[in-house]
Structure 1
């Protein structure tokens, strides 16, 4: 991780390197998806569900801490979209659940989360509650919106190559992936970066806390996905 004094340019250079490293790591890991047994693939996809749920709650908590301004307004818009903009059936966790149902995940299994990942998500919520808003922006504003999109894009590229997904493509509900790996989410990432840059320009003293939150998010999400792979990829379980 970064050592020394943070400046705006050094922060964004660090963030860009971190995103590139995350993309490379995700690419390496997600290759296994194309060869998973169908039941393991279903379990794998189910585990991401818990990120979508906790992200919404944490984003609401972050918004309560932020001062009025461009960043708060943008994240409020993103939160509204995540919640379906007033239509509960359009909330993104509901859309993801429809994807899970369309690939054969039984309804009674969608609430089965990995204890280790529930602990990670709960720990992040606790940190978000206790720390200042700048830490939360790094943790959930950047970590949730930007790093998450990187993992999802790579996941989707490999997911759709799986034989089961190709054979059943016409009946699978792809809406969640259209939203989160398409132009809309790319624009979200660009707007989020611009709003955070303005947040830094307004008060550069936020940089150390912002960087700490982002560093924490990198560690958390890498471990989150590592836990999913350990639980769902057969050869990794045997190797361990």
Structure 2
């Protein structure tokens, strides 16, 4: 018996958006209970477990998996481009490794280790209170400038989705983060205003990644033949169970067509 599960962009995007909305709503409501409801059993536990601005909890695990999935999709494209000898194959590979690092950073909060040293060095307050935005922002600026030609060579639909995803993610990670830093340095982090800003920041980042995943899956579907997962279940008088992992159906055709070199 065989089941085929097509990983269509629309289905995956809808699923991820539902997860994001659910996590954001649970996070905000659990945080509001800390300020407006009397204490009840496990209140603090749930507030920490679902807080999108907290470390090592359910939203962090989701973000790690979403970023890791992005890295895998980029790796699949990079592999196809390598077979096709595309001149931008290394750009796809580098993107895959970058998202792998970001996923590890998300689960390990590596960038936050820069905050205290940079804060002491710059004596930072206000919008630069979360001082990791200074060195990381500089690196991101260089990266964006170096990828302009790569972006311009992409199909129009993919290009637009990449721009939207970048604007959402960077706008949240840097723009709204700086506003949150200003509030944290002036009024502290234990107030409703900061909770709202932090929720907006994390929401933009998560939605940005969903848009990016949609862009990658749409690109794979349109230009690389799509992705599907075939599952074989053993029955009577059948061969042993075999699982065929995610793959590109028309990768050999791609090598001959040399799309988007």
Could you say which TM-score interval applies, normalised by the shorter chain? 0.3 to 0.5
Structure number with greater Rg is 2
Higher RCO (C-alpha under 8 Å, 6+ residues apart): 1
The normalised TM-score by structure 1 is: 0.34
- Bigger fraction of residues in strand: 2
The normalised TM-score by structure 2 is: 0.32
